[in-house]
Amino acid sequence: MAASSADSPDSGTRINKYISETGICSRREADTLVELGAVLINGRVARMGDRVTPEDQIKVRGKPLRQKPRPVYLAYNKPVGITCTTERDVTGNIVDAISYRERVFPIGRLDKPSEGLIFMTNNGDIVNKILRAGNAHEKEYVVTVNKNIDANFLKKMASGVPILDTVTQPCKIKQLSSDSFNIVLTQGLNRQIRRMAEFLGYQVTRLKRVRIMNIRLDDLKAGQWRELSESEVAQIESLLVGSSKTAEASLPPRDKSQREKPREKAAHDKKPTPPKPKTGKSSPWDTSTFRRKS
C-alpha cells in the first residue's frame, strides 16, 4: 500500500482534496471529518495534511471511500434570479436549479440579476485555471445599459476603468446598438462590468454571458443545461495547458514582469563601495550618499 504523508510528504493527494473529489463533501467539510477522527488511512486515524494515493484504503465514518467519479462538465444557461451558491438553504441556489444527479458546483459565478453561460463541474482542479486573470481565458458578454453609448464610452471601457482599488485590464468591446455592446474579458472582478459602467455614469439593465473560452451559449435556453462533448472538453484541456491554478496567475503579464525587474536591478545596479580613506586623513566621500564631496 502507498505511504501517507507521515512517510512521504511530497507524494499523493492531500486527504481533504482526495475525499472532496469523490463528491461526498467539500474540502472544508473533509477537514472537519479529519479533525473529528472520522477518517482512517490504512487503518490509522488520518491527520491534517496527510497525502494518499488510489492504492491507500480510506474509510470515512467506518465506510470505504468510493472511487473518484468520472469528471463532469456541464454548460448551464443561468436564468436571472438564480444564485451561484452551493448552499442548499439559499432559495434559488444553482445546485437545486440544475438538479443534476451528481454533486457539481459552478466555476466562477454570475450575480443574481445576470444570466447566461456558466460551467458546472465536479473537478476542482480546473476551477482556478479557468478563472485566474493571468491565464487570459476569455469570457464574452452582451450588455445593455440605460442610455445611449458613444465612442468615448467604448474607448474608456476598452482601455481600463478604476474600480475596486485597481484598474481593469484592457479588453475587447464592440457596439451592437445604441444602448448595447459586446465585451470580452479575461478578468473576473466582483460585478466587474456593472462597476465599470457605473463609473462612467451608466446602469446595466441586462447582462448575459454568451461564451467561456471555446464554449458558446448558442441555442441553450434559459434554465437548460447540457454535458460538454468529449471534443469540447479536450479543447478546454488543451487551452488550459500552461495555465496556473495559483494566485500568481491573478497578476496580468505586465505586473509579473514588473515584479521581476527589481530583482534584476538589484543584481546589476548596486551602489559602488567607496574606497577606504588613508589613515589620518578625512574621507573625500560623503558616506550618506557614496558621492564625492564638493
Backbone angles phi, psi at 51, to 5 degrees: -115, 145
CA distance linking residue 191 with residue 106, whole number of Å: 16
Catalytic residue among 7, 10, 50, 111: 111
Report residue 258 as a C-alpha cell: 514588473
Q: What is the largest CA-CA distance in the chain?
A: 90
Q: Is 179 considered catalytic here?
A: no
Reported as type and span, the H/E element at residue 135 is: none
Q: Return the DSSP state at 105.
A: E
Tell me, rounded to whole angstroms, the distance of Cα 183 from its chain centroid: 19
Q: List Cα–Cα distances, 262 to 29, 265, 289, in angstroms.
A: 42, 5, 20
Catalytic residue set: 111
